[in-house]
Structure 1
Amino acid sequence: MTSHPRIRTSSHAALVFALALTAAAAHADTRAPAPPRAVAARPALGVEELNNIAVFKAASPSVVNITALSVGRDFFSMNVQQVPRGTGTGFVWDDKGHVVTNFHVIQEANAARVTLADQSSHEAQLVGVFPDRDLAVLKIDASKAKLPPIPVGTSRDLQVGQKVYAIGNPFGLDQTLTTGIVSALNREIESVTRRLIRGAVQTDAAINPGNSGGPLLDSAGRLIGVNTAIYSPSGASAGIGFAIPVDEVNRIVPRLIRDGRMVRPALGVTAGPPQMGPALNLPKGVPLVRVAPGGPAQRAGLQPFARGERGGIAAGDVITAVNDEPVADLDDMLTALERFQPGDKVTLSVWRAGKGRKQVVTLAESDD
């Protein structure tokens, strides 16, 4: 009989405890919520932060989003429509509506749409491309008030360690800023045509898919490069990005705007294969296997290597330098010549049968 009182006592205590909890809850509902914690005072922004903000505010109106389009046909209605192929970044070059981006951003598209910083969208016309340097110029019809040109700097005086900023539209996101430093200079990267882009700027500023074609800026907000490549197996930023140096951009873009293409200066020669030099024990340079009749090289007296009547090789010319700049192969020579225009005179260093000489040549316009 002693266990029953204990059971009744335990039940009674539980009931009292439950009623107390209910009363406390009802009382709590009538009380005001606890006030938020006081906000700690924040010190003034640092000089570096203020500069980051200033660079972004000044440059972002010049940065655009580019949507590459292709014409597709709806399977059910058979209506022709434009289908997005991908997105990239570009920037306003001048107030006439010229926009610069990477060639690979619009490479497989047959139309493009440019979205400005104010979110207005404009159909773009292709002005010109230079795949060897992964550059393209588009043009849109918009008011000058919407087209603030990006300030152009130089890349020849860049130094490893100086601060850089990248603005772009990674993964389709609008107007992002990443910062970093110049990690290295005079890098070589491969273009879509397998030609080397020399003098590339290496940076650790995050450059993700969608940043392609966007500006790389210095701490004064000036353009110093066009972001073009990510060195990463996955395609995402891995701390190594590359940009086409602005001195190259400033040399090529005006010519694309003027001519609609990169008009190459030409010598009128055909270079021998890479193995020809070692096989014939020739110096580093460009051995000639053909000289175009009536071309600049022939008028200057250059001669190609040829096979003689008895099967032997008749000595020809090897171009070893352009304006005293050594050229180790055809790509070196083409890069050196691209700094000039048709009609310019250049001095070639030429080797033939163990003897060197200088030869002045007037460049012609290439047919390609």
Structure 2
Amino acid sequence: MRALVRSPFVTALAGGAIVAVALLALGVAGRERTTTTVIEQARVAGGLAGTAADQRWMMSAHEVYERDAPGVVYVHADPRTGSATTGTGFVIDRDGHLLTNSHVVGDARTVKIRFGEDRTVVARVLGRDVSSDLALLKVDPDAVDLHPLTLGDSSDCRVGDPVIAIGNPYGLERTLTTGVVSALQRQLRAPNGFTIQHVIQTDTPIGAGNSGGPLIDAGGRVVGITSQIAADGSSGTTDISFAIPINTVKDRLTELKETGGVVHPYIGISAITLDDRLASLRLPVKRGVLVQSVHPGGPAAAAGVSGGTIESQVEGEAVLLGGDVITALDGRTVRSMGQLTRAIADRKPGDEIKLGILRNGESLQLVITLGKAPGEAPADDETP
């Protein structure tokens, strides 16, 4: 289980809202920690849309477990670089496709999959999207009895909805834990430094070994893939865990199957949100995104976006002044880094965007052709 330290979609989010450094596609190195997994058998109540039709699909935690646990597997990988890793995966169809996290399989070409206690088979790593921390696996469908899980619609998730995780925390196979959706639209850092959007936050207890397992709603449908836990450097349990939304997975499945990877849009800047904490800097605008640096050779550099050159300090954190302030994208007001990164993430490489910027008190518009994100988030030595 990856430990979440911080987060935004672009190069580093240091210190609250001040340095949400953005490459527009990004991650931070996680620090490993453990959590205590609590096994529960609570009734899954509430949630869904509340209609009569929805109520017919309400299931108890036990019913969800009986239906879905046979499709949850134990994953053991021996990457070509790094040490062996273990985690969770789950079956998505009768053709032998399974999903897990990219950080579970690393750069391994094949992994061992255990179905329960009595059947282990070899799976091929069919595709990876490291920027979304996803991996698609394939087993011989004739070699094992497959029990595909139903993929739901993560856009239907609401704060307070009950959810269930089934996984292998600390090697304890097919452990069930329950909780609720705690928040939506979070951001996570992927293993390669880029940012994952639209993440589901939950208080469902998950621990080392849960990574790659399903987060399931009260109808027994997968709404996310458990991926990271919050970490504050102390020991003990955490009430904050995160799951990649299943709609993100579904958007990438075809590309993973056909090409073995996913191409993401890229702008190539590091920037921070202008907010009340920066009021002391007396900038010409109160809201927007202040560019810290522009990555050489990237789309923003080609379009003439300017980064900061003057070092300053805000509440003990370094901030570069003098760069462009992004105030709009395609005519829509931009007030925060999160808003900008989400807008970029919804585009494709090759798309043109118009950035409204403020430079030395003058309003300008720059047209940028989005590029393809590199395999790793570029190092940004200029970023504080």
User: Which category describes the TM-score, using the shorter chain as reference length?
Assistant: 0.5 to 0.7
Task: Tell me: CA distance 1:66–1:290, structure 2 relative to 1, closer, same or farther (3 Å).
Answer: closer
Aligned position for 2:34: none
Matched residue, 1:52: 61
Q: Is the 8 A contact 2:188 2:197 kept in 1?
A: yes
Normalised to the residue count of structure 2, the TM-score between the two structures is 0.63
Aligned to 1:21: none
- Among 349, 356, 364, the alignment partner of 1:342 is 349
2:30 corresponds to: none
- Partner of 1:285, secondary structure, is strand
Indicate the structure with greater helix content: 1
CA distance in 2 between counterparts of 1:366 and 1:70 reads 24
> Does 1:249 find its partner at 2:258?
no
* Distance apart, 1:158 and its partner CA: 1.9
Alpha-carbon distance change, 238 to 280 in structure 1, aligned in 2, over 3 angstroms: closer
CA distance in 1, matches of 2:151, 2:123: 23
Equivalent residue runs for 1:185-224 within 5 Å: 185-224=184-223
Contact 1:207 1:237 in 2 (8 A): no
- Which residue type is aligned with residue 303 of structure 1? G
Corresponding position: 1:303 with 2:311: no
Counterpart mapping for 1:1-368 below 5 A: 51-70=60-79, 85-107=84-106, 109=108, 111-117=110-116, 119-143=118-142, 146-231=145-230, 233=233, 237-266=237-266, 270-271=268-269, 281=283, 284-285=288-289, 287=291, 289=294, 302-305=303-306, 319-323=326-330, 324=332, 326=334, 328-329=336-337, 333-356=340-363, 363-366=370-373, 368=375
Shift in Å at residue 68 of structure 1? 1.4
Change (3 A) 1:145 1:109: closer
Question: CA shift at 1:173, angstroms?
Answer: 2.0
**Distance across 2 between alignment mates of 1:235 and 1:253:** 36
**Aligned equivalents of 1:319, 1:47: Cα separation in 2:** 45
Could you tell me how far 1:263 is from its partner in structure 2?
A: 0.7
Q: Distance in 1 between matches of 2:44 and 2:340?
A: 46
Q: Please report how far the alpha carbon of residue 159 of structure 1 lies from its aligned counterpart in structure 2 after TM superposition.
A: 1.9
On the 8 A contact 1:130/1:261 being kept in 2, the answer is yes
| Distance in 2 between residues matched to 1:271 and 1:84, nearest whole Å | 33
- Counting matched residue pairs gives 300
User: Post-superposition shift, 1:350?
Assistant: 4.1
Higher RCO (CA 8 Å, separation ≥ 6 residues) = 2
Distance 1:162 1:99 in 2: 26
Tell me the secondary structure at the aligned position of residue 146 of structure 1: coil
Question: How far 1:265 moved relative to its partner?
Answer: 2.6
In the alignment, is the contact (CA less than 8 A) between 2:263 and 2:372 conserved in 1?
Answer: yes
The structure with the larger Rg is 1
Change (3 A) 1:346 1:66: same
In 2 relative to 1, CA 186–148 (structure 1 residues): closer, same or farther, beyond 3 Å? Answer: same
Cα offsets for 1:260-316 (capped at 9, x unmatched):
22212345xx4367699x8994753364757869x7996xxx434499xxxxxxx99
* Deviation sequence 1:80-126 (CA, Å, 0-9, x none): xxx98232101123333332112221237564211235843222222
Helix, strand or coil for the counterpart of 1:156? helix
Q: Distance in 1 between matches of 2:147 and 2:185?
A: 30
Q: Deviations over 1:181-203 (max 9, x none)?
A: 12233334443344444433222
Query: Is the 1:208–1:236 contact (alpha carbons within 8 Å) kept by the matching residues of 2?
Result: no
Distance between the aligned counterparts of 1:322 and 1:119, measured in 2?
Answer: 55
CA distance in 1, matches of 2:117, 2:225: 22
Whole-angstrom CA distance in 1 between matches of 2:340 and 2:43:
49
Structure 2 spans left out of the alignment, 5+ residues: 1-41, 46-57, 309-321, 376-384
Q: How many Å apart are 1:207 and its aligned residue?
A: 0.9
Q: CA contact under 8 A between 2:166 and 2:213: conserved in structure 1?
A: yes
What root-mean-square deviation, in Å, do the aligned CA atoms of Structure 1 and Structure 2 show? 4.2
Contact 1:319–1:349 under 8 Å retained in 2 = yes
